[in-house]
């Protein structure tokens, strides 16, 4: 029986389009999932969706003069289209603003209430007296208490780097109305996270978490877990707290339940999926959750505690990734490096980004830099210059002299075996999310394949009719090596792999197919599969990104 696994990626907020930052994590997860889906011993589902609640979504809908529901629908559709075009192989993309999620949220809430994990008390918060609403920190600006710089956010100064509490800002104002915030009391609901300290510690030691995650968790345990505010006052866009007309669940309470909601929604199309088998306390299936490093606290403390207390299984592992920088710096609208998924797609092949990210991704929580100069070089040198080159330099002979028919015997079984044997190591790297190492190993094989063709020189040999048979065997051999490389690169380059399957005239490739060479078989005519990346393409991309930034402020 294959091991069943459910994989998730953090649900993007529904107030805007996806950008390259989202794609780092989505692509990382997708490569991992696609690798798993190519193995006979695992059966893998990949689900995600958009995170539809919270103040920013409410404000954004107001600004656009549409309902939050309509905003979510539109954004969800756009996000889904972007993900599909980046070849993200999701089994379901749903939304937290759904019936399924509402039911789940109430179930979680009731179960925790019964266990005495919810408390209530009154707190003071910043309030906008003109907008008549409580203000999240990000909607308060003012002068830096240290250097006096104007228009700084409530937690840190972009000019001098000072960090402080929003109450320390001088001349604070609400970014929504401009009014000076006042302090106001309100009763809030809290989840007693501290009740789960021991269980969370046990969970953490049973899992294979990244060392940086363990380190962070140790720090948090050391500081002591505290209760967590799970409510927000109206006006707010979210689910009502049962029995309260003006209070809502905080977006972060229902967001992770959205993973489950996406699964429940998928069940409508997939009657073979059993909820308890995946989510029940006794589940023997795996649950892998990929996230960015900024939301570790939610996914390694709150969420497992919420699951545990509501009688569900906990995650098998939480895999964190770092942030994206462009040319060594945070993505910036003014520099034209804040790039939306769609802007990228308007100019460049999505697989180039998938490949480039794969050459850089590893199992650690490190920030990852895209430098466009390096991006262009990598893609051109590796994909066009090495990988595709193997096919382009051998397929033409098979076509021209051998009627698209591969030879009957494999000329170099030893070399073939070298490629096949490398599978164990490459697979290990994929499994452990050491994609950059996997790619290095695959490109090492591509070098070997090119050296092989260089040494055999079919273009020279073919001039002597006596060598015809040898050329046939050499080119067949080269295409077989190319086929093996295609298997190994398929998690990263799914679309190219599909085109190559059509070119080789074969069914979908899996890792298992590596053992059997492709011989005495008719292939199709080779057409160039990937074109060189030109500087003009990148310039056009940057130009469009800059234009968007100027238009949207």
The C-alpha torsion from 392 through 395 and 397 to 399, rounded to 10°, is -130
- Which residue among 256, 304, 491, 494 contacts ligand 2FM (CB under 6 A)? 256
144 binds Zn ion (CB under 5 A): yes
Nearest-CB residue to ligand 2FM?
Answer: 255
445: Cβ–Cβ under 8 A, 6 or more apart, which residues? 418, 419, 422, 481, 484, 485, 488
295 binds ligand 2FM (CB under 6 A): yes
- DSSP element (H, E) containing 44: strand 42-50
| Binds 342: which of Zn ion, ligand 2FM, none (CB < 5-8 Å by kind) | none
Burial class of 515 by CB neighbour count within 10 A (0 to 12, 13 to 18, 19+): exposed
CB of 171 vs Zn ion, minimal distance in Å = 14
| Binds 157: which of ligand 2FM, Zn ion, none (CB < 5-8 Å by kind) | Zn ion
Choice between 239 and 416, CB closer to ligand 2FM: 239
* Whole-Å CA distances, 418 to 383, 484, 509, 513: 21, 11, 19, 15
* CB contact at 8 A, 258 and 95: yes
* Binding map of ligand 2FM across residues 66-85, x = CB under 6 A, - = no contact: --------------------
| Cβ neighbour number for residue 494 with a 10 Å cutoff | 19
| Cβ neighbour number for residue 333 with a 10 Å cutoff | 15
Tokens of 194: 């501290």
332: Cβ–Cβ under 8 A, 6 or more apart, which residues? 326, 338
12 binds ligand 2FM (CB under 6 A): yes
d(CA 461, CA 295): 60
Tokens of 267: 């069940």
Tokens of 276: 């308890």
| Binds 368: which of ligand 2FM, Zn ion, none (CB < 5-8 Å by kind) | none
- Which residue among 159, 234, 415, 448 contacts Zn ion (CB under 5 A)? 159
Number of residues that bind ligand 2FM (CB under 6 A): 10
| Binds 54: which of ligand 2FM, Zn ion, none (CB < 5-8 Å by kind) | none
Q: Where are the alpha helices (DSSP H) in 91-170?
A: 99-114
10 binds ligand 2FM (CB under 6 A): yes
- Which residue among 13, 134, 237, 526 contacts ligand 2FM (CB under 6 A)? 13
CB of 438 vs ligand 2FM, minimal distance in Å = 27
11 binds ligand 2FM (CB under 6 A): yes
| Binds 159: which of Zn ion, ligand 2FM, none (CB < 5-8 Å by kind) | Zn ion
Residues 353-372 that bind Zn ion (CB under 5 A): none
- Which residue among 160, 409, 460, 525 contacts Zn ion (CB under 5 A)? 160
CB of 51 vs ligand 2FM, minimal distance in Å = 4
d(CA 394, CA 290): 40
- DSSP element (H, E) containing 5: strand 3-9
Burial class of 212 by CB neighbour count within 10 A (0 to 12, 13 to 18, 19+): middle
146 binds Zn ion (CB under 5 A): yes
Strand 3-9 to 324-326 pairing: unpaired
| Cβ neighbour number for residue 59 with a 10 Å cutoff | 20
100 binds ligand 2FM (CB under 6 A): no
493 binds ligand 2FM (CB under 6 A): no
Q: Where are the alpha helices (DSSP H) in 38-54?
A: none
Strand order in the sheet with 317-321: 92-95, 42-50, 3-9, 286-292, 317-321
- Which residue among 102, 107, 143, 149 contacts Zn ion (CB under 5 A)? 149
Choice between 11 and 144, CB closer to Zn ion: 144
- Which residue among 7, 25, 51, 384 contacts ligand 2FM (CB under 6 A)? 51
258 binds ligand 2FM (CB under 6 A): yes
Choice between 174 and 210, CB closer to ligand 2FM: 210
d(CA 160, CA 149): 8
Part of the chain binding Zn ion (CB under 5 A), chosen from 154-162, 192-200, 236-244, 389-397: 154-162
CB of 530 vs Zn ion, minimal distance in Å = 48
CB of 3 vs ligand 2FM, minimal distance in Å = 24
Contact positions vs Zn ion (CB under 5 A): 144, 146-147, 149, 157, 159-160, 162
Contact positions vs ligand 2FM (CB under 6 A): 10-13, 51, 255-256, 258, 295, 298
């Amino acid at each position: 029986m294959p091991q069943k696994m459910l994989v998730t990626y953090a649900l993007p907020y529904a107030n805007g389009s996806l950008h390259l930052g989202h794609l780092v994590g989505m692509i990382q997860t997708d490569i991992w999932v696609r690798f798993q889906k190519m193995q006979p011993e695992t059966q893998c589902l990949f689900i995600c969706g958009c995170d539809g609640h919270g103040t920013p979504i409410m404000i954004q809908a107001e600004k656009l003069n549409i309902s939050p529901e309509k905003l979510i629908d539109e954004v969800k559709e756009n996000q889904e289209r972007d993900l599909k075009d980046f070849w993200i192989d999701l089994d379901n993309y749903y939304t937290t603003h759904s019936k399924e999620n509402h039911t789940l949220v109430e179930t979680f809430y009731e179960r925790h209430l019964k266990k005495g994990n919810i408390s209530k008390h009154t707190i003071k918060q910043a309030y906008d007296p003109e907008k008549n609403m409580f203000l999240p920190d990000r909607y308060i600006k003012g002068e830096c208490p240290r250097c006096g710089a104007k228009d700084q956010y409530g937690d840190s100064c972009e000019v001098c780097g000072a960090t402080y509490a929003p109450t320390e800002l001088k001349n604070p104002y609400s970014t929504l109305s401009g009014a000076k915030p006042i302090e106001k009391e309100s009763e809030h609901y809290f989840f007693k996270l501290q009740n789960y300290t021991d269980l969370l510690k046990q969970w953490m030691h049973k899992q294979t978490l990244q060392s940086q995650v363990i380190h962070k968790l140790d720090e948090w345990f050391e500081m002591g877990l505290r209760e967590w505010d799970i409510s927000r006052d109206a006006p707010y866009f979210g689910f009502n707290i049962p029995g309260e007309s003006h209070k809502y669940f905080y977006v972060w309470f229902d967001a992770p339940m959205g993973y489950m909601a996406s699964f429940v929604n998928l069940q409508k199309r997939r009657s073979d999926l059993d909820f308890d088998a995946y989510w029940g306390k006794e589940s023997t299936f795996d649950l892998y959750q990929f996230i960015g490093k900024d939301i570790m606290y939610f996914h390694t403390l709150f969420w497992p505690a919420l699951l545990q207390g509501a009688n569900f299984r906990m995650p098998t592992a939480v895999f964190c990734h770092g942030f994206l920088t462009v040319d060594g710096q945070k993505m910036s609208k003014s520099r034209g490096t804040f790039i939306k998924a769609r802007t990228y797609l308007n100019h460049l092949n999505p697989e180039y980004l998938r490949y480039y990210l794969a050459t850089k991704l590893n199992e650690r929580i490190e920030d990852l830099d895209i430098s466009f100069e390096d991006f262009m070089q990598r893609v051109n040198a590796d994909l066009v210059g090495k990988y595709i080159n193997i096919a382009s330099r051998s397929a033409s002979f098979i076509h021209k002299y051998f009627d698209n028919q591969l030879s009957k015997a494999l000329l170099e079984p030893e070399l073939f075996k070298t490629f096949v044997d490398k599978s164990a190591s490459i697979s290990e790297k994929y499994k452990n999310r050491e994609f950059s190492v996997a790619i290095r190993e695959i490109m090492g094989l591509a070098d070997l394949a090119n050296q092989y063709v260089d040494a055999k020189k079919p273009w020279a040999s073919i001039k002597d009719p006596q060598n015809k048979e040898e050329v046939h065997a050499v080119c067949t051999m080269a295409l077989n090596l190319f086929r093996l490389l295609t298997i190994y690169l398929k998690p990263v380059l799914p679309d190219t792999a599909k085109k190559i399957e059509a070119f080789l005239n074969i069914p979908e490739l899996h890792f298992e197919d590596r053992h059997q060479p492709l011989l005495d078989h008719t292939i199709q005519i080779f057409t160039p599969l990937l074109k060189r990346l030109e500087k003009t393409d990148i310039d056009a991309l940057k130009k469009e990104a800059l234009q968007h930034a100027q238009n949207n402020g």
